[in-house]
Structure 1
Amino acid sequence: MARTQPESDTRERILCAALKLFAEMGYAGACTKEIAREAGVAEVTLFRHFVSKDKLLEEVMSRFTFVSVMPQLLAEIAALPCEEALTTLAGRFIDYLVLRKDWVRIMQAEMQRAPAKLFTVYHAFLDDLLGGFVACFRQLQQRGCLGDFDLEQGARMFHGICFNYFNQEELQGRKNYKSTDRELVIREFVRIFLYGTCSRRSE
């Protein structure tokens, strides 16, 4: 008698298939029948694990985004000097964006069309991501490494700096026009984020 695969394996195959097809075809273009076929399951099995395509998207974003690795990363950088901790955070975030470059590209295209459900899911995910940056900054504040500032606005700024670098280098192809030392760029971003650009505080 053939052994049945664990439900967790089936669920994982569906999630991986959904990630692949969403990245290739977009959320609107990838139908559940094709996702099920890619995963090697019946469509009814897909719906047994995920009650709707929207729920499947939510789970994909939760499972395969930077938010999922943030708790482990926070533990890893907890004892690092402040500048090194933020440099590590920025570097890992950019690495993750590069790894999921096709996914990021298709999500940007889908957001231009802005279907209401996708818009809500995306911004809920973004709130979670910014929450991870806030947790990091709060951790550094508690250690006395960072001063007092609006953590949410700081998170938006930090995210924007990292994402803009990724967007220019990877999506717009600047790296093919003019090479840069990525480590040096990230360290400079972090230095400016921490210390600003003024030579001294205004009187």
Structure 2
Amino acid sequence: MNTRERILDAAAEILRTRGVVHATTKEIARATGVSEPTLYKHFGDKEQLLLAVLRERLPGLSRVDLEPGRGSVEDNLTGLAHAALDFYQQSIPMLGALLADPQRMAAHRVAMDRLGGGPDKAVTVVAAYLRAEQALGRIAAGANPHAVASLLIGACFHEAFLRYYAHGPGASAADHTTARDLTRTLAAPLL
């Protein structure tokens, strides 16, 4: 395993247990067995490292193939919802403390904008997929893709938060049935 991969593995574990606000690059470098300058050779700053962990170590929307016109819309959205549920359940403990620190949150927002990341991207991706399906006539012409995307992603976030709230970091992952039920409730009027 190369150095970059070792850094990502160590960072993912530390961010899960300490959160982005309390985890330090020094701690991550030490856990990896590299110097801080070596860590910064691979990741320009802590935000780049966080974004790499979110993209490469957590299940997420980037791993879902949303190709318009392929498969059923319901199945595609169910796969997406399942990935979103997993992603949010694992990322909530990493990012939750940002909400309590307005200065850190503002700096994080600026960094995510610069790096092309952030929580708004999920809704953007899903809405674009739904617009493409709408153009193909596979969902109702009167549907609002952005509203549907917001509702689905919001429901996934809320479900993941409730699981984490009720059971902590050891909460079981949402199953496929939960993802399917959320999707069916939203997709039925679209189809």
Q: Same fold (TM over 0.5)?
A: yes
Is 1:69 aligned to 2:55, yes or no? no
Q: Which runs of 5+ in 2 are unaligned?
A: 168-173
Alignment-derived partner of residue 51 in structure 1: 44
Instruction: Calculate the TM-score normalised by the size of structure 1.
Output: 0.72
1:83 aligns to 2:74 (yes or no): yes
Runs of 4+ in 1 over 4 A off after TM superposition: 181-185
Among candidates 94, 100, 106, match of residue 112 of structure 1: 100
- 1:160 Cα offset (Å): 0.8
CA RMSD of aligned residues (A): 2.8
Structure number with greater Rg is 1
Is the Cα–Cα contact under 8 Å of residues 58 and 121 in structure 1 kept in the other structure? no
Task: Tell me the distance in 2 between the aligned counterparts of 1:146 and 1:61.
Answer: 31
Instruction: Tell me if the contact between 1:67 and 1:128 (Cα under 8 Å) persists in the aligned partners.
Output: no
1:161 corresponds to 2:155:
yes
Size of the aligned set, in residue pairs, is 176
Counterpart of 1:132 in structure 2: which amino acid?
A: V
Instruction: Say which structure, 1 or 2, has more relative contact order (CA 8 Å, 6+ apart).
Output: 2
Q: Which deviations, in whole Å up to 9, do the C-alpha atoms of 1:171-191 show, x marking residues without a partner?
A: 1228xxxxxx95554433323
Give the distance between the partners of 1:159 and 1:106, measured in 2 at CA.
Answer: 18
Matched AA of 1:17:
A
Normalising by structure 2, we get a TM-score of 0.76
- Describe the shift of the 1:129–1:121 C-alpha distance in structure 2 as closer, same or farther (beyond 3 A): farther
Take 1:44 and 1:182, find their aligned partners in 2: how far apart are those partners? 41
Residue pair 1:111, 1:118 contacting (<8 A) in 2 also: no
SS of residue in 2 equivalent to 1:28: helix
Identical columns (%): 27
1:152 matched residue in structure 2: 146
Which residue in the other structure is 2:8 paired with?
A: 15
- Which consecutive residues of structure 1, in runs of 5 or more, have no partner in the other structure? 175-180, 197-203
